[in-house]
Amino acid sequence: MPDPKPGPDRVFEVGTVDEFTHGVVRLVQVKGREVGVLRWYDRWYALRNVCPHIGGPVCNGLVSPLLVEERPWSDADLRVDTERPMLMCPWHFWEYDLTTGLSLSGRESVRMYGAYESAGRVFVDLSLPPRAIGSAGVVAGNGGARD
């Protein structure tokens, strides 16, 4: 688990666990960036509030479970994956898998940060890619997204 102590350049405390509602993105300021923090069951996700499509406020969009194709090109084999949250940008409805940061089209990705809970507090880590946090937070990469 990462060091839970807030630091001037990498780890930032953004609130208590009780301040976050499951399935609702909460916007916080982290080192001059507007960051959305999402509690999804026992997992935490953090992302920059900028849609890579044309810069819209992606975190103002709808969060829902990801709809997954069991077999490509077969509508009959769709299932809801409650373990993987999906965020839809409110401007042009681009959808992003928050476990990877990638758009469902695979063309763009949102900038993901590490996020985790420790001792009832929620932290965002700007220095660790989400996959480095493991089961304590997000298990995903940044998909090449820029700050």
Which two three-digit tokens encode residue 38? Answer: 């999402």
**Where do the domains of the chain lie, and which CATH numbers do they carry?**
11-136 (2.102.10.10)
Per-residue pLDDT of 58-90, as tens digits, reads 999 999 999 887 776 666 677 888 999 999 999
Q: How far is Cα 132 from Cα 2, in angstroms, rounded to an integer?
A: 9
What pLDDT shows up at residue 106? 83
Q: How far is Cα 145 from Cα 139, in angstroms, rounded to an integer?
A: 16
| Reported confidence tier of residue 147, pLDDT bands at 50, 70, 90 | very low
| Reported confidence tier of residue 130, pLDDT bands at 50, 70, 90 | low
Q: How far is Cα 147 from Cα 7, in angstroms, rounded to an integer?
A: 19
DSSP character at residue 109: B
- Is residue 131 over pLDDT 80? no
What pLDDT shows up at residue 146? 40
Asked if 12 contacts 30 with a C-beta cutoff of 8 angstroms, the reply is: yes
Per-residue pLDDT of 88-129, as tens digits, reads 999 999 999 999 999 988 889 999 999 999 999 999 999 865
Distances (CA, A) of 66 to 7, 9, 81, 89, 97: 34, 33, 5, 14, 7
Say whether pTM exceeds 0.85.
Answer: no
Q: How far is Cα 52 from Cα 74, in angstroms, rounded to an integer?
A: 29
In our burial notation (b when 16+ CB lie closer than 10 A, e otherwise), range 67-94 reads eeeeeeeeeeeeeeeeebbbbbbeeeeb
Per-residue pLDDT of 16-32, as tens digits, reads 999 999 999 999 999 99
Q: How far is Cα 74 from Cα 70, in angstroms, rounded to an integer?
A: 8
